[in-house]
Structure 1
Amino acid sequence: MVDQYIFSGSLPENASTYVTREADTQLYEGLKAGKFCYVLNSRQSGKSSLRVRTMQRLRLEGVECAAIDLSAGGIQNVPPEQWYADLIDTLVDSFGLDLDFGDWWEANQLNSLVTRFRKFLEEILLVEVQESIVIFIDEIDSVLSLNFPTDDFFALIRACYNKRVDNPEYNRLTFCLLGVASPSNLIEDKQRTPFNIGKAISLKGFQLHEAEPLKKGLQRKFNNPQAVMQEILQWTGGQPFLTQKLCQFMVEESEQDNPRSVEQVVRSRIIESWESQDEPEHLRTIQARILRDEQRAGYLLELYQQVRLAEERSQVIADDTLEQSELQLSGLIVRQNNKLRIYNPIYKEVFEEDWIENQLNNLRPYSKSFRFWVASDGNDESRLLRGKALQDALEWSKGKSLNYEDRQFLAASQAKEREEKIAAKEKEAELERERKDREAAEKRNQVLVKANKKAYQQIRRDRDLILFLIMVIIAAVVGSTLIIPRIINYLTTNQAEREYDKYNECLKKARSEDQQAFCHYDHR
């Protein structure tokens, strides 16, 4: 009999609505065989409930278990020495070890922190506890917020497996890590990471054949509980939190005079005005996970947008990039048959296109250009901001603590704009010089044409005068055959010379005027 559906926090060991999944068998068998296992998945996906149930099963098999919650206040925001001391102290209490922890810790002050932890495991825990031992470390992603590196801690877990060759006692000790993180987030060094020798446990949504414990609560409430359960799973995709919550909603709905359908309940109590109805918080947790890092939120939103569009055609191929891992850890998308898809229809309707656009607009106003610029290693200058876009970005950045890449992007945009303004001014000046050169050349041509025309007209007038004088002389001395040729020769020769001098003078004057005009232009 189902008393109540539980969708907040871990389900207790005896919870009647606990759904046994494929992951339950995989984790139990892996740890029973002494394998290092890790369950890294989104929040509210049933990790802690899986841990509780697996610990219960292992204890029934004679395996000694202990659980450390790294999100507990006592082991957060502490120096490294206190952090390792708290880990050991928790294990001392969990296994009920006969150890004066204070004296032991003091006696090992000369050892490094990791060495102290190893000595505790090897010299105390494995000596006093003769059964197989499994240490569950929950909320492992909490180490990401510590102010000191924890790579040595993960390397120690790997070392415990390597030591099995030399010290068979280590075969009795294994670890299980649970949290919301990817292996590469926790430790990147492939030579020291335990994740490449461990077993990853994948948490899938509830399947219809697994959901019998949930269906029991719908019996005697609905004529066809199987159909109701199937429709619930279609909307939730088997997501544990949403499935338990929607089952509870339907039980409450069945007590109404006019009970609504599953779809009506989903839309009215989950999707519509979801931010105000999201209690306990679930949808807001997904949103916060995606938007928590503004520098990367744009990438995640665009990837999610691609997944939405691709579902109508060909799905996005899973490639284990950092962005894909982060989006999966948010819970919004899942990996299925090496493809990415949206976890369920509820998420698809809540986090729809308008939501994506609104979130992108709430990020840095230059997010799209910034992402392309960063992807090009800062070489794609076409992505730099200019004009009003740059001014808006600078205004937006006032009072904000920007990271190095943002500052570099804005500085590069400002430098590029200054460079383009200088180039534009130089181009404008060059065009102005070319215009003035053309005007000066045209003016010189006009002066030369005018001077030539004036000289030609003067020559014609003087020639006519000479001819007239010759005619007068001829008429005056008609008959004088000796003097006439001499007079004519004298007049024409001297007149020609005078006209030639005048012509030269006119040309000089024209050239002088042209030179003055040219000099005047250069001076300007």
Structure 2
Amino acid sequence: MTPFNYYKLGGSLEYQHPTYVVRKADSDLYEGLINGNLCYVLNSRQMGKSSLRVHIMKQLKEQGIKCASVDLTRIGSHLTPSEWYGGFVSELLRGFGLSRKVSFGTWWRQREFLPPKQRLSELIDDVLLIEISGKIIIFIDEVDSILGINFKDDFFAFIRACYNQRADNPEYQRLTFCLLGVATPSNLIADKNRTPFNIGQAIELTGFKPAEVAALARGLEAIVARPKAIIEEVLKWTGGQPFLTQKLCQLICIYQNSFPAHHEEECVKKLVQTQIIENWEAQDEPEHLRTIRDRILQSPENQTGRLLGLYQQILHQGQIPADDSPEQTQLRLTGLIVKQEGKLRIYNYIYAEIFNQTWLDKVLINIRPYSQSLNAWVNSNFQDESRLLRGQTLQDARIWAADKGLSDLDRKFIDASQELEKRDVQKRFQAEAEASIILAEANEVLLVANQKAKRRIKIGGGVLAITLVAAMVAGIWANMMVKDTPQWQKNCLCQ
């Protein structure tokens, strides 16, 4: 195998592929299935779930355990229950090598009077547990491909019932299942009136650790001067994410002359920047980064807002406490976020460089009508109230948010805006009340002044009247005096 095809991008790694990395999940899954536990490996895309299944199945078969794998994408989802269950039964017969002993078409048609799920139950009772001795393990891959069909709750409830059956039928102790896909246990049975899918053992599938990647480093031995130093720098950028780690190792093989000894850090950084981060949408082959983007943006609209809001908190704070809420779980299933030591953080530096604040701002402009205001408010440490919404803008935001699953940050912003509007209204009412009081006081002062003026006018009128009367009396008296005065006195007075 040449260095250029040593690494494999996309698809499952065949058994004993030189780049297969053995992780803790390998031993956890093997032991869980050997002990008869229902196990589920539920994680984001391109984390190595199917490769893990291939390797564990091979190990189990080497121990004499009968295994079969059903990839649900082979059956499809736009089918009637009868068609879908028929496809599942056909895959089981073929997987266990029983298709020659049991003619599927004949067997299925003979039971057309039974509901499809009951026919599957009869296959287990009358065929698998009869024809196969010893342990039987059924791997069901890509379970997320049927989360949208209306009878998926029945199917996963049936799997749970197989475990409940162990109490009544010891033969069911030999049967176990392993579920793999991009989902959560709560996704499997969504009907609130049913018992949730609360059984089984979760297998945690983490990224590659430095102590686990010797197989990857071997592919670089003839390529670079210091393979171990190179692989350490690779893990710093990828965080051990399986697909990205394989891709970066393959890029190093292609650009092998660019990694002189003791310059590993700057050389790997340059390679990441030029071959992965810059113009990332065009260089994303096989597709990986666009899958993460689309899983966020193509969520139902009432989830997209919450996922982006949650991611914004992590982007601003670096990490947040993990509480396993539905929103956090859905964001983790995109692959963008990882849970470590009880905290949620961005999985790796490559994701952080690509899905940065600039990218988030562009996306949020199409999601939130108030993105710029919210960002400015956050950047002010939630202190700049001029950035909060008011009036019609706030009303428009309320209408937009009515059917959206808002993040805590969105809710905090809208609540703060509503509180500010409430205070503004209270201030306006208070101002109006104070103005009313001032106006009432002014009217009272004016009334008193008018009353005083009227009293003064009355008094002034009386004085005037008295004065006029006195003047008139004085005039009359003067005239009388003149009439009674002798003529010689008048003459003297005139002289």
Return the TM-score normalized by structure 2: 0.78
Look up the equivalent residue of 1:149 and give its one-letter code: F
In 1, Cα distance between equivalents of 2:341 and 2:12: 29
Structure 1 residue aligned with 2:269, among 260, 263, 267?
263
In 1, Cα distance between equivalents of 2:258 and 2:307: 41
How far off its partner does 1:104 sit?
A: 2.8
Match of 1:125 in 2: 128
**What do residues 271-297 of structure 1 show as CA deviations (whole Å, max 9, x unaligned)?**
112122111111111111122223222
Look up the equivalent residue of 1:460 and give its one-letter code: V
* Matching of residue 156 in structure 1 with residue 158 in structure 2: yes
**What do residues 453-499 of structure 1 show as CA deviations (whole Å, max 9, x unaligned)?**
55544433331233244446666889xxxxxxxxxxxxxxxxxxxxx
Equivalent residues in 2 for 1:431-442, closer than 5 Å: none
In 1, Cα distance between equivalents of 2:333 and 2:276: 21
Structure 2 residue aligned with 1:61, among 60, 63, 76?
63
* Matching of residue 320 in structure 1 with residue 324 in structure 2: yes
Confirm or deny: 8 A CA contact 2:361 2:371 kept in the other structure: no
In 1, Cα distance between equivalents of 2:16 and 2:398: 56
Structure 2 residue aligned with 1:330, among 313, 317, 334?
334
Match of 2:168 in 1: 166
Q: 1:85 to 1:386 in 2, by over 3 A?
A: farther
How far off its partner does 1:268 sit?
A: 0.8
Match of 1:70 in 2: 72
Equivalent residues in 2 for 1:108-507, closer than 5 Å: 108-146=111-149, 148-188=150-190, 192-194=195-197, 196-255=198-257, 261-293=267-299, 294-311=301-318, 315-366=319-370, 386-388=391-393, 390=395, 455-471=458-474
Look up the equivalent residue of 2:46 and give its one-letter code: Q
Give SS of 1:261's match. Answer: helix
Structure 2 residue aligned with 1:42, among 36, 44, 54?
44
Match of 2:416 in 1: none
How far off its partner does 1:306 sit?
A: 2.5
Match of 1:89 in 2: 90
How far off its partner does 1:242 sit?
A: 0.4
In 2, Cα distance between equivalents of 1:28 and 1:305: 38
Look up the equivalent residue of 2:324 and give its one-letter code: D
Q: Gapped runs of 5+ residues in structure 2?
A: 375-387, 412-424, 482-495
How far off its partner does 1:57 sit?
A: 1.2
Match of 1:80 in 2: 81
How far off its partner does 1:357 sit?
A: 2.2
How far off its partner does 1:444 sit?
A: 7.4
Give SS of 1:67's match. Answer: strand
How far off its partner does 1:183 sit?
A: 0.8
**What do residues 48-103 of structure 1 show as CA deviations (whole Å, max 9, x unaligned)?**
1111111111111111211111123x422112221111111111222232223333
Confirm or deny: 8 A CA contact 1:154 1:192 kept in the other structure: no
Confirm or deny: 8 A CA contact 2:322 2:344 kept in the other structure: yes
How far off its partner does 1:442 sit?
A: 8.6
Query: Structure 1 residues 236-245 or 254-263, which shifts more?
Result: 254-263
Give SS of 1:174's match. Answer: strand
Look up the equivalent residue of 1:274 and give its one-letter code: W
Match of 1:498 in 2: none
Q: 1:330 to 1:469 in 2, by over 3 A?
A: closer
Counting matched residue pairs gives 445
Match of 1:513 in 2: none
Look up the equivalent residue of 2:50 and give its one-letter code: S
In 1, Cα distance between equivalents of 2:372 and 2:232: 41
Give SS of 1:161's match. Answer: helix
Give SS of 1:65's match. Answer: strand
Confirm or deny: 8 A CA contact 2:141 2:179 kept in the other structure: yes
Return the TM-score normalized by structure 1: 0.74
How far off its partner does 1:174 sit?
A: 0.7
How far off its partner does 1:392 sit?
A: 8.7
In 2, Cα distance between equivalents of 1:218 and 1:438: 91
CA RMSD of aligned residues (A): 3.9
Q: 1:302 to 1:326 in 2, by over 3 A?
A: same
Look up the equivalent residue of 1:140 and give its one-letter code: V
Match of 1:373 in 2: none
Match of 1:516 in 2: none
In 1, Cα distance between equivalents of 2:479 and 2:333: 126
